[in-house]
Amino acid sequence: MSKNTATVEPKIVIDSEVTRCIRQHARAHMKTEVCGVLIGEKVGDAVQIRASIEASQASQGGTHVTFTQEAWEEIYRVKDERYPDERIAGWYHSHPGFGVFLSEHDLFIQQNFFNAPDQVAWVYDPHTDEEGCFGWVGGAVHRIHSLTISDQNGDGVERTPKPMEVQAMEAESVSQPVMRAEVRQKTPEWMRWAATGMLSLTMLIAGFAVSYFLFPQIIPFAVFIDPTSGRPLGIREAPELLPFLHKALLVPESSAMPAGQSPALTAPAPGAAPGASPASPAASPSTPAAAPATGRKP
């Protein structure tokens, strides 16, 4: 391992096509880390990164990635074919969902495989699209703030295609709140009040029905009272009392009856059979009216 002698933070200039390839590689593996190497050279006080090579044979995991022997063999084969005059300027890897930083495992890779003063580590989180670069400063690895992305296309448009499952997840997360808001807006106020009223009325009717069938003797009590005994009568017993009530409420039409005297208390006429009812115009319409008293004997 060579000793790092850089004391000033290097300037990083990375091509936009390189960042596009890194993002595309990471977005294709949203649950595991991926890695590769950066191709470039140092020009003046800046490290210019012009290309990248994927390490498809690397050992990938959810929170770590390792360059295997097979991965290095593939990387050098591609480099010799496409970039024979360039050098490895660093490496990149993804952190799917847990931010931009260098873990202990990442620092081990940086210290043992990319320990030259101008070699850097690029980290990208495909869940948040956050990215950052780390390099050697004073013998230690620090995050580099002097970072420039060179736009070779000149329009600044991100052309990295996202996997179909990522697009579906983003579309679903955006459309569901909008759909719920549209449903709330399209429902009229009077319909919500009508639904609430119908529900309350249905519950009230159901409560009365359940009470009637479970406790049938509670409702009929105290509807009618027998005047002779004072006993409360139910609805089923009330028809037996109606004839009695009709007779009891029948008022005599005779004007000769003294005021305040009820028909039941009138004395029977002389010579009437014991137990006979007192004569009244309403009871005996054929009986002639009594002659008025004159004070003379006939």
Instruction: Write the pLDDT tens digit of every residue in 81-112.
Output: 999 999 999 999 999 999 999 999 999 999 99
**pTM for the complete prediction?**
0.52
Planar angle of CA 224, 230, 234, nearest 5 degrees: 30
Residue 221 reports pLDDT greater than 70? no
The token duo for 114 is: 């990319």
User: 241 or 48, which is more confident?
Assistant: 48
Report angle CA 93, 39, 134 to the nearest 5 degrees.
45
The pLDDT score that the predictor gives to residue 154 is 53
Q: What are the phi and psi torsion angles at 171 (to 5°)?
A: -65, -40
State the Cα–Cα distance between residues 204 and 199, nearest whole angstrom.
9
Q: How confident is the model at residue 254 (pLDDT cuts 50, 70, 90)?
A: very low
> 161 pLDDT exceeds 80?
no
* Residue 240 CB partners (closer than 8 Å, separation 6+): none
What distance in Å separates the CA atoms of residue 54 and residue 23, rounded to the nearest whole number? 11
CA distance 203 to 263: 54
Q: What CATH architecture does domain 11-173 belong to?
A: 3-Layer(aba) Sandwich (3.40)
- Predicted confidence band of residue 133 (pLDDT cuts 50, 70, 90): very high
Query: Token pair of 162, please?
Result: 């996202």
Mean pLDDT, the chain, whole residue set: 74
| Rounded-to-integer distance, Cα 115 and Cα 121, Å | 10
Assigned token pair, 221: 């009590």
Tokens of 179: 């759909």
Question: pLDDT tier at 174 (50, 70, 90 boundaries)?
Answer: very low
Longest dimension (CA), the chain: 166
Average pLDDT over residues 115-140: 93
State mean pLDDT over 197-214. 82
Cα torsion angle, 250, 253, 259, 265, sign: negative
Asked which of 18-27, 145-154, 198-207, 283-292 is least confident by mean pLDDT, the reply is: 283-292
pLDDT of residue 163: 47
Left if phi > 0, otherwise alpha if psi is -120 to 50, otherwise beta: which for 123? Answer: beta
Task: Return the structure tokens found at 51.
Answer: 């290309």
Provide the 8-state DSSP code for 149: E
CA angle 30, 34, 35 (to 5 degrees): 150
pLDDT bucket at 193, cuts 50 / 70 / 90 = confident
Q: Please check whether residue 145 is in contact with residue 9, taking contact to mean a CB–CB distance below 8 angstroms.
A: yes
What is the C-alpha separation between 100 and 140, in angstroms, rounded?
Answer: 17
Distance CA 223, CA 75 (A): 99
Statement: residue 183 has pLDDT above 70: no
pLDDT top residue among 50 and 295: 50
Distance CA 96, CA 129 (A): 10
pLDDT(50) > 70: yes
| pLDDT attached to residue 192 | 80
